[in-house]
Amino acid sequence: MRRIVKSRLFWPVAALILLILINTIARPQFVRITFQDGRLYGALIDILRNSAPLMLVSLGMTIVIATRGIDLSVGAVMAVSGAVALTIIDGSADPNSLGTVIVALVAAILVSLVLGMWNGLLVAVLGIQPIIATLVLMLAGRGVALLITGGFITTVNSSPFEFIASGYTLLLPFAFFISIAAIAAVGLAERRTALGVLTEAVGINPEASRLAGVRSRSIIWTAYAASGVLSGIAGVIYASNIRAADANAAGQFIELYAILAVVLGGTSLMGGKFSVAGTVVGVFIIQTLNSTILFLGVPSAQSPVFFAVVVVIVVVIQSPHLHRLTRSLIRSIRTNQTPEANGTTTNGESAGEESTSDVEVTV
């Protein structure tokens, strides 16, 4: 068991280290961390800070994908959440009071929970395909956000609110601690309770799980609700960072990056077995890649291509098919060196069921 988890995480971690190495070789100050006014600064610290929204969204996405679902509405939920928080702070008498900000945050998160529950209702109770069910909110959510802000980009000046994205605690960015808390919360909920194994069971075989007495409906519902809440918090961090609620830009395309992070982390889109640690690494790969683009000064017009090329390389490196191909190639080179009867073959794979993708090399 431990060995499987290890081998699963091996490639994502290797890709992350490789990215950091390339950056460091290109410009050694990439890994430099400076200490100033009781705070740490540096490119790596920025990655920890800036990855927070994607981290939260991807954690939620991981759970949803484990149930064989997908949540396309995460970006829209971020927009709604930011709009709710900023509208409350903007409308209050004292935007700088901690109380106001707390009320705004609680309201934003509650609204996100409701949106997540809505997705869960469509998928778990009404049996609508996840991609369609969440597409509804993906399209409608930004309209709701615009409705809340009255069609404007609401901006605020509220120091407690700004602290969420820009503040520091214990040397490190506060946003990073939100990430840590979310990772811990999801990790504990999945591994310390039975939620994890039940979620996997539902994702692998819904009917067998139902007959075994698993409450699959509430498990699926919980997954979407959690995704909603995590996206809501991500929306608040995003809004705090730009000090504004931008219904169109908030969380744009983040659903795609989140899915990418989950897949890079080794969780299959087919549902079932999932890895929270893998997703965390996946998020750091994406964030490091974004920093790399800035850091290496890739022209903005070319940055999507650069991003795409690197992602393709990382995905190909992880492909089990490629591993099998390399393994049997190595083996065939080895057998070539020892004389053997003609017509003998080596087979690259074991008794596994992947009958169609078996790779064979004739000597």
Cβ at position 2, least distance to another protein in Å: 9
* 126 interacts with another protein by CB under 8 A: no
Q: What is the distance between the alpha carbons of residues 101 and 158, in angstroms, rounded to a whole number?
A: 8
Determine the interface stretch with another protein among 25-33, 101-109, 194-202, 278-286 (rule: CB under 8 A). 194-202
* 94 interacts with another protein by CB under 8 A: no
C-beta closer to another protein: residue 213 or 297: 213
Cβ at position 214, least distance to another protein in Å: 4
177, 169 contact by CB (below 8 A): yes
* 226 interacts with another protein by CB under 8 A: no
Q: What is the distance between the alpha carbons of residues 163 and 101, in angstroms, rounded to a whole number?
A: 11
DSSP 126: S
* 127 interacts with another protein by CB under 8 A: no
Region for 253 from its dihedrals, namely left if φ exceeds 0, alpha if ψ lies in -120 to 50, beta otherwise: left
Angle at 15 between CA 31 and CA 188, to 5 degrees: 90
* 264 interacts with another protein by CB under 8 A: no
Cβ–Cβ contacts within 10 Å for residue 211, how many? Answer: 9
Please select the residue that binds another protein; options are 25, 93, 211, 301, rule is CB under 8 A: 211
Determine the interface stretch with another protein among 16-24, 44-52, 225-233, 351-359 (rule: CB under 8 A). 351-359
Determine the interface stretch with another protein among 35-43, 58-66, 192-200, 289-297 (rule: CB under 8 A). 192-200
Q: What is the distance between the alpha carbons of residues 236 and 105, in angstroms, rounded to a whole number?
A: 7
* 262 interacts with another protein by CB under 8 A: no
The pairing of strands 345-347 and 39-41 is unpaired
Nearest Cα to 269, choosing from 315, 216, 226?
315
Determine the interface stretch with another protein among 45-53, 111-119, 296-304, 352-360 (rule: CB under 8 A). 352-360
Amino acid 115 reads: L
The binding site for another protein (CB under 8 A) comprises 1, 192-195, 197-198, 200-201, 204-205, 207-215, 272-273, 343-347, 350-351, 353, 355, 358, 360, 362
